[in-house]
Homo-oligomer: A and B are copies of this chain.
Amino acid sequence: MNKEINGLIVSKILYKELNKYLLKKDIIPKVVDISIGNDFGGQMYAKMKEEKITSNTLIDFVSVHFDSMQIEELEDYIISINQDPTITGLMIQLPLPDNLRSEERRLLDMIDPKIDVDGLTSLSAGKLSVGDISLVPCTPLGIETLLKVYDVSLEGRKVAIINRSNIVGKSLAQLMLRNNATPIICHSKTKNLSKVTSDCDIVVVALNKQEFITADYIKDGSVVIDVGVHKNKEGKTVGDIEFDEVYKKASLITPSIGAVGPMTICMLAYNAAKSVYGKEIDNLLEEGIMKAKELIKTKK
């Protein structure tokens, strides 16, 4: 049996569903993704998002790059996009350059929550917490979707989340709670991390340390999700987990390429549609998950 979770196949099915839906609609979502400065990873990622969403969906996705920007310029730009009725989604690529970084929270919160397709405003975080319909950060949403497609039972199960950022860990904890799982939010200060994680049924790793999580951190039969992406000395892409060793113990595992990454971008497309069509897109995603689940079952 193949234990590897395939996010590429899942995302393809979900893109297809989304396009079928959008074809019947008058308004096609239009997203602006602002990136500023010369952070190499950030620029690469901005280009990839544009390329993937444009090639896979009907969504109009525009990556706008600025070599540098003063804070007042960015403020004015955000306001102008909020007011532009033709733009239905706005996101700002992080990290911001040095001159803007200390104001990151305030700048993100200038985004109109209705078009906050990255789910990073305070109001989006709050709505997720209180259980309201909201735009949810894409990486945790992609992880929840993969777990559902692969029929991973969540109710009552212990989920270790190694990350406490809003964009990944805290939001994922909210999603795990809404599936009746028991989340444990771990981070750099957590004592005896391997003892905590090896006691959990599901382990989600986003600590951004190359191949840090060895087989000792994992109990037999657990489900392991790896958010990390690194290039190792040999130029090979690896994750936060030592894949080959962890693979032997896990019942399901994500490779560092082709699992969480494509799902994150796919969920961005769903969020872009949700900012226009609201709860209908949640239903569409649930239907897509059912279809992907069927396909995965026949492939097992």
- Interface of A with B (CB < 8 Å)? 105, 121-127, 129-132, 155-158, 164, 166, 170, 173-174, 177, 180-187, 189-191, 196, 199
Contact = CB atoms under 8 A, between A and B. Distances in A.
A223 to B, nearest CB: 16
A185 B187 contact: no
So how many copies of this chain end up in the complex? 2
Contacts of A129: 122, 125-126, 129, 166, 170
A186 B180 CA distance: 9
Contact of A122 (B127, B180, B182): B127
B187 A184 contact: no
Contact of A185 (B125, B130, B182, B191): B182
A139 to B, nearest CB: 16
Contacts of A183: 184-185
A156 B192 CA distance: 9
A283 B185 CA distance: 27
Contacts of A190: 156, 182
10 contacts: A105-B130, A129-B129, A129-B170, A130-B166, A156-B191, A158-B184, A173-B173, A182-B184, A182-B186, A182-B191
Contact of A196 (B121, B122, B125, B182): B182
A66 B105 CA distance: 40
Contact residues of A: prevailing secondary structure? mixed
A93 to B, nearest CB: 18
Nearest to A124: B126
A185 B179 CA distance: 13
Contacts of A199: 199
A184 B164 CA distance: 13
Contacts of A125: 125-126, 129-130
Contacts of A166: 129-131
B189 A156 contact: yes
B105 A132 contact: yes
A190 B155 CA distance: 8
A150 to B, nearest CB: 20
Contact of A191 (B122, B132, B157): B157
Among the interface residues A127, A156, A182, which one has the most CB atoms of the partner chain B within 10 A? A182
Contacts of A177: 164, 170, 185, 187
Nearest to A190: B182
A130 B109 CA distance: 11
Nearest to A154: B189
A242 to B, nearest CB: 23
